[in-house]
Amino acid sequence: MAHLPPIRDHALADAYGRAVLAVVRADDDIGLEESLRLQARLRQRLGDGFDLEALLLAPAITASELAGLSGGDPFRAGGMHPGALAHALVADCLAVALAKGHIDEREARALIEFARALGLADRELLHQAPALRPWLAR
């Protein structure tokens, strides 16, 4: 898992969980393997107190909304640098999406949008996630 301490800031944790869900839901299907991996990754990232049911019922979040919460100010972003948040998001979303054996084009495009909004350059994204190469080349 990408090095990032657990997200303790409630608003940022909620937004992060909603962002992971936005990516893994992009293909309109969360299978059993993805669901189990999703729960495990969010528990590691957000702690045992996260409420998956509440996240599933929460409104969708956009990449710009998440970027606005992270803002580049570590005090405003619950102590998280947007770049670190982006790397964690990429790691977690890939782990969940790849639980089914591949990443769908819609998931890839959603993940790229979130990563870019958090300031991750395509070069860094490609280095961390070679599976995204087909969608970064376009």
Residue 129 has pLDDT above 50, yes or no: yes
Dihedral class, residue 88 (left if φ above 0, else alpha if ψ from -120 to 50, else beta):
alpha
Give the tens place of pLDDT for each residue, 2-17. Answer: 556 678 888 899 999 9
pTM for the full model? 0.89
The total of structural domains in the chain comes to 1
> Tokens standing for 116?
């870019």
Lowest mean pLDDT among 55-59, 86-90, 107-111: 55-59
Average pLDDT in the chain: 87
- List the domain range (segments joined by +) for residue 114: 10-136
Let me know if residue 1 belongs to a domain.
no
Query: Given this model, what pLDDT does residue 40 score?
Result: 92
Query: What value does the mean pLDDT take over residues 85-93?
Result: 94
Let me know if residue 5 belongs to a domain.
no
Sequence-distant (6+) residues with CB within 8 A of 54 are none
Residue 76 has pLDDT above 80, yes or no: no
Give the tens place of pLDDT for each residue, 27-53. Answer: 888 888 888 999 999 999 998 878 888
> Tokens standing for 45?
């990232």
Sequence-distant (6+) residues with CB within 8 A of 104 are 26, 27, 97
CB-based burial of residue 5 (10 Å sphere; 0-12 exposed, 13-18 middle, 19+ buried)? exposed
Query: Given this model, what pLDDT does residue 8 score?
Result: 80
Let me know if residue 75 belongs to a domain.
yes
Let me know if residue 117 belongs to a domain.
yes
Let me know if residue 61 belongs to a domain.
yes
Distances from the Cα of 29 to the Cαs of 18, 33, 35, 38, 77, in angstroms? 15, 11, 10, 13, 30
